[in-house]
Structure 1
Amino acid sequence: MENGAPVYADTTVPAEQPPGKGPRCTGCTADNLGARRLALKASQLALSFLAFLCEEIVQHCSSCGGLYFFEFVSCSAFLLNIPILVTYCTSLYERTGKEKVATVVFGFLATITFCVDAVLMYLKRRKAEEERKTENPANTLNPTENQPLNN
């Protein structure tokens, strides 16, 4: 204290980050893939989406089997690339490990399909209830049902 030293000295030292790993305020990083593979995955995502859109533009075809297969492949590539990129570019990759990435991706897709199925079932039930209400809202009888049987 006499020589100008502070009363309380720092008790912790900031942790050093490994080289190449910058601060992740957004949770996204390219460290797991590297810049080249990240660019390749992003271009795969963009091109598969573009291929799917181009296929939807086609209105007439003479042999549609190949076109439907192309649609399936391009749409599948697009939908599989999204969770793969999310897994590799977030901290989820460090938590799950390299060998479990495919499991995480298919878990995402299964969860999404179950949610879509639940929403579709809810909408179908709601539509059926609305149709039942509009069929006979006041339970009024038809004019022929109000007539006596023997006329």
Structure 2
Amino acid sequence: MIITMGIPISPAQVGDFHQILADHPRYWGERDLRSLHLLALVQEFGSTCLVARSEDGIRGYVFGFVTPDGTGYVHLIATRDDARGTGLGRRLYTAFAEAAGRHGARRLKAITSIGNTGSIAFHRSLGFDTKTVDDYDGRGRTMAVFHRDLPLDVSRS
């Protein structure tokens, strides 16, 4: 367990997953991304699916895994509406990078839609290289694809 800003970051449990879905609008606003939340990630890759929990619930989370070629893939990262701008997202990324590194990751990867300017700016601020890839998520689904090598040190990003 990592403690950051007085908020512990620890592996997600099944109950955390269900709480995140119940509070979905607090993380994602009007965007309905519940279909991207896969319980199998928490069940099969629990050590790289992390939550930041305080006495008033889950403040943020990151769900990801390590691929066989040593890539730590971040599938979802979100902070609750009352935790934005606190640096929690950066700390969640750092915790994920450390966990992924323990599983052999040498680099990180994430994707987002090209219209998600907030996510693009966030990943660039962490030192990710960004490439636009046509048809990445199916025909006509251009995505921003992020890559960066480990280690991830947000104090220098």
* TM-score, normalised by the number of residues in structure 2: 0.25
Q: Which has the larger radius of gyration?
A: 1
More strand by share: 2
Structure with greater proportional helix content: 1
